[in-house]
Amino acid sequence: MLEECDLPYQVQWVDLLKGDQYRPDFLAISPNNRIPAIVDHAPVDGGAPLSVFETGAILCYLADKCAMFLSTDMRERAKTLEWLFWQVGGLGPMLGQHGHFKFYASERIAYATDRYRTEALRLYSVLNSQLSCEEYVAGKDYSIADMACFPWIQTHKAQEIELSSFPHLSRWYQILKQRPALRRGMELGREQLKTAASENPHGRDRLFGFKNSPSSN
């Protein structure tokens, strides 16, 4: 979103494998100890810096700030927000759980794996159906709903979901991949992530909240 809006920004790395998400200064910005979070040092009201956490809230905030990717038309805006929160409440959490139980859980639980895979495929079908009659997720224009959904669909290979089984979704995915701003945003941090993972092979517990969280201290 920052790249699409051509906003200047500075990245502050939060090393989840080291437990940076539990630092008091980060919790003051993101009390749920999760990324992403932003601090706007030039809010439109001209006041003090404003912090915002949670993907959906950040996308809405920036869309309103820049008057981009979220229509002011009542009906179009409502549709975009519907699909944004569909991602926030469904696509993201369900694919996250599917990936966790399939690839990261120390104990393989067939019920959990099957349950989340079934739901992941259902959500793919919902999005595929929506894109069979719309060019983009929320209609004819690219919006914050597309931005929210794309990174999760990008994990289709890791999730072992065959994208070709969802032709309308696949068409949308290939179109979005060509957006220069999207590519710049998705590439940011890729090398840092690889380096962090190699330097912290035992960071899994911190990543999943088992160590350095308030409840474990």
E strands, the chain, are 37-40, 50-53
**Tens digit of each residue's pLDDT (9 = 90 or more) over 125-135:** 999 999 999 99
User: What local confidence, expressed as pLDDT, does residue 36 receive?
Assistant: 95
User: What local confidence, expressed as pLDDT, does residue 106 receive?
Assistant: 87
The average pLDDT across 26-49 equals 97
Residue 143 near residue 137, CB atoms below 8 Å = yes
- Tokens 């065959």, located at residue: 162
Side chain identity at 160, as an amino acid letter?
E
Residue 8 near residue 1, CB atoms below 8 Å = no
Peptide bond into 8 cis (omega under 30): no
Cα gap 43→91, rounded to integer Å = 30
Would the pTM count as exceeding 0.95? no
What domains does the chain contain, in order, with CATH numbers? 1-68 (3.40.30.10), 74-184 (1.20.1050.10)
**Tens digit of each residue's pLDDT (9 = 90 or more) over 73-90:** 999 999 999 999 999 999
Terminal Cα-to-Cα distance of the chain (whole angstroms): 36
**Tens digit of each residue's pLDDT (9 = 90 or more) over 143-196:** 999 999 999 999 999 999 999 999 999 999 999 999 999 999 999 877 777 766
What is the number of residues in the chain?
Answer: 217
Side chain identity at 84, as an amino acid letter?
L
